[in-house]
Chains A and B, each alone.
Chain A
């Protein structure tokens, strides 16, 4: 095992290289670029034995790895923002055809207005595709999770694409100490991809064949079954990897100081690191606060979250996405699963970090203060709160100059 100071993108590229993908295809978009540039260089220099296919769009990149996966190849791509959205149609098809490739979803805000700042709206918009989504907090977690991702994807009972979601810039462009696995350990952990079905001219088969109303629902239900099965299998794969690396990032969720907590923050991605710091500071002031970090967002680990938050008074969901016309997607997921539980805590939905808006420990302390006040007030339902919103710069109406 070697330890290096690496840019997050380089760490991901090295993790992907260690997994020996046979086909990589990508179209560059900030902030994903350093990952695929690095892999392209490895392939061009002969350090990586992969077909690196350059394409004219993300739709084609996803199509190339979808086709490659159907031939029985291990395949990989990465994208961000509208690039991920351009893949959407192919992702639904790939899920239906049960093609287990890996994507890095490098989080970036979606245009318009055009921006390269970070939020989770892009990957959250893909939550219904059937792609497994795992969010990471650090470069080390990104490295380890990519290696786990290939194993999760190709599990014969799962067979779904896996997307590792990591914030652009914050993770992809910052330098951290990263421990790299020995190639032999990766090879033992991740056996070669040998699917039962693969495209083969001497035994022709057809993928995603026509299905009408008498069977189509069963195909969709089978994907949901794979997701449900995945919950335990993903945990097993994470712990199997943790035994090799001696780094345990948690299961479907990571819990931080929740044991005696009365108030719990729920977060995904790198903001969880800031939230841990905030929790430590608030604990020193005597506030019984904890954190649940969602690692695996799809399948949604509501059972594990419930174990961590039951008995608490209030949960504050911090999320950098919004389902227009409703509220934050993570808050909706959680509230849907708590609905009907008589002992469920109050859930506050904080829209925090949208479009790259800063979320620091002071802001998180204010959120916890709001959680405390709301739970003391006895209120049971609250509308989502846009953290740091400046209403003074909003136009006053459609005809306002």
Chain B
């Protein structure tokens, strides 16, 4: 390995650096309760909530477990569950 002057690297490499391992709580979404309003997607600081086939899915590779989505969800559809090894 050789370091790059100015720590300049090709763009988008954060996709290869998965930060989900920092999480100690995981958001679990109950699609029965979800109204598909999109608030969780808009408040996620890690852009870890995505729309897939008209459902919301959480990308656990990048979710750090901050709990903002659960706090903001007006339908109470997201629970924070303690991560266990």
A interface, CB within 8 angstroms of B: 96-99, 159, 196-197, 204-211, 215, 218-219, 222
Contacts and interface: CB of A to CB of B under 8 A. Distances in A.
Contacts of A204: 10-12
A207 B11 CA distance: 9
A355 B7 CA distance: 39
B52 interface: no
Nearest first, the 3 A-B pairs at minimum CB distance are: A204-B11, A98-B6, A197-B8
A99 B5 CA distance: 10
Interface residues of B, number: 13
Interface of B: 1, 3, 5-14, 17
Nearest to A156: B5
A96 B7 CA distance: 8
A206 B13 contact: yes
Contacts of B5: 98, 159, 196-197, 222
Contact of B9 (A98, A159, A206, A219): A206
A97 B6 CA distance: 4
Nearest to A208: B7
16 contacts: A96-B7, A98-B6, A159-B5, A159-B6, A204-B10, A204-B11, A205-B9, A205-B10, A206-B8, A206-B11, A207-B7, A208-B8, A209-B7, A210-B17, A215-B3, A219-B7
Contacts of B12: 204, 206
Contact of A211 (B7, B10, B14): B7
Nearest to B1: A215
A159 B8 CA distance: 13
A295 to B, nearest CB: 26
Given A97-B8, A211-B7, 14 more contacts: A96-B6, A96-B7, A97-B6, A97-B7, A197-B5, A197-B6, A197-B8, A204-B11, A205-B8, A206-B8, A206-B13, A207-B8, A208-B8, A215-B3
A302 B20 CA distance: 49
Contacts of B11: 204-206
A193 to B, nearest CB: 14
A39 to B, nearest CB: 27
A149 B55 CA distance: 57
Nearest to A99: B6
Contacts of A96: 6-7
Contacts of A99: 6
B3 A218 contact: yes
Contacts of A207: 6-8
- Best-buried of B1, B5, B6, B14 by chain A (most CB within 10 Å): B6
Nearest to A210: B17
A208 B11 CA distance: 11
A209 B3 contact: no
A220 B3 CA distance: 11
B81 to A, nearest CB: 28
A204 B7 CA distance: 14
Nearest to B8: A197
A211 B8 CA distance: 11
B10 A222 contact: no
Nearest to A218: B3
A37 to B, nearest CB: 32
A19 B8 CA distance: 26
Contacts of A219: 3, 7
Contacts of A209: 7-9, 13
A206 B11 CA distance: 5
Nearest to B10: A205
A211 B7 CA distance: 8
A32 to B, nearest CB: 27
A236 B55 CA distance: 65
A225 B21 CA distance: 36
A207 to B, nearest CB: 5
A208 B14 CA distance: 13
A265 B12 CA distance: 54
Contacts of B10: 204-206
Contacts of B17: 210
Contacts of A205: 8-11
A371 B7 CA distance: 48
A139 B6 CA distance: 33
A355 to B, nearest CB: 38
A367 to B, nearest CB: 44
A222 B3 contact: yes
A215 B7 CA distance: 10
